Amino acid sequence: MIRLRSPRFGRSPQIRRIQITARDREIVALVARHRFLRSTHITALLGTLSQQISRRLQLLYHHGYLERPRAQLEYFYRGGSSHMVYGLGTKGAALLRDAASDSCGESNWSAKNRVVGRIFLQHALLVSDVLVAAELACRERDGVRFIPQHELFAESIRWHVKTNGERKRSVIPDAAFALERTAPDGSTERANFFLEADRGTTPITRTNPAQSSFRRKFLAYEATWAQGIHQRQFGLHRFRVLTVGTSAARLKALRAECSKLQSGKGLFFFLHKDALANPASLLDAVWTSPQSLQPVSLL
C-alpha cells in the first residue's frame, strides 16, 4: 500500500480523524502564548520524543488547530532548516476559549497567521528563541523559576513616557518575563525583564529624533525608570532590558550608544543569539553591559 505524503502548506482531506487530548491542548496553549514556535521549541518545552510531537503537530495543522505560516517557505526552497514553524489556528483559538481562556479573542487567527511576512516571522521567532531558552535554563537551575509574561501582566504591555521635553511616546517591549529565585530560608527575590529582539532592521540612531531608533528605545526605558512608571503602572520594584541580537558588530555599536545615557546605562544587558544554543548558560555571566568589560549574570 502506498502512503501519500501530506502537503506541508496545504491541508489534506485524507488526513485521519483527530481526538483532542490533554497534550494537544497543551501544545495549542504553548503556541498561543508565544505566537510562533518551531517544532523543536515545542518538543523541548514538553520534554517529549520529537516523533510523537511531530505526529500531533501534523494532525493539529491539518485539522485547523494550528497554522504553518507560508513566510517560512523560503527556508525549504533554499534547503535550509526543516523545523516547521507553527502559529495558532482559528479552531485552536476556539479550543482555548472553550477551556475558559479568552486571551485569543475572536480573531480569525488562521488568516492572520497565514499572511505574516518574512521579516515579522523572523523577528517573532527570535523572541521565541529567547523565551524558550530562558524557560529551559530555569528548569536546569535549582531554586529559579521562570515566570512568563501572561502571569505578570493581564493585558499586553504598553505604556507612555515623555523624554527630553518631547510629547509622550509609546513603549512596547517585544516580550517580558521574570526570574524568581528562592533562597535556602524560603524567601524569594524576583528580577523582571523586558526583551528587545534585534535583527538589525531598526536604525541605532536617526537625525530626526521623532523617528524610530534604538537610541529612542534606550531613552524611553531610561525615562520609564527615572519617572517610576514601572512601579506606578505595573507594580514592578525594578527591571532590566535585555537586547538579543544577530550581529556582534551591531551589538557592540548598541552598547556604545547605550553608554551615552546619563543615568540609565545599568538597565541594559546585551547578548548574541548564538548563546541561545546552550540555554543552561543564560543564567551565567554571559551578558554584556555598557558599564562593565566583564560579562554579567541575570541573577
The three three-digit cell numbers of residue 273, written as one number? 543569539
| 194 phi, psi to nearest 5 deg | -105, 140
Distances (CA, A) of 198 to 45, 151, 175, 201, 242: 24, 25, 12, 7, 10
Band of the pLDDT at 213, cuts 50, 70, 90?
Answer: very high
Identify the helix (H) or strand (E) that includes residue 288.
strand 287-289
Residue 155's contacts (CB-CB under 8 Å, 6 or more residues apart) are none
Give 278's DSSP letter.
S
- Split at pLDDT 50, 70, 90, the class of 15 is confident
d(CA 37, CA 26): 13
CA distance 240 to 193: 5
Q: Model confidence at 2, in pLDDT bands (50, 70, 90)?
A: very low
Give the pairing of strands 240-245 and 268-272: parallel
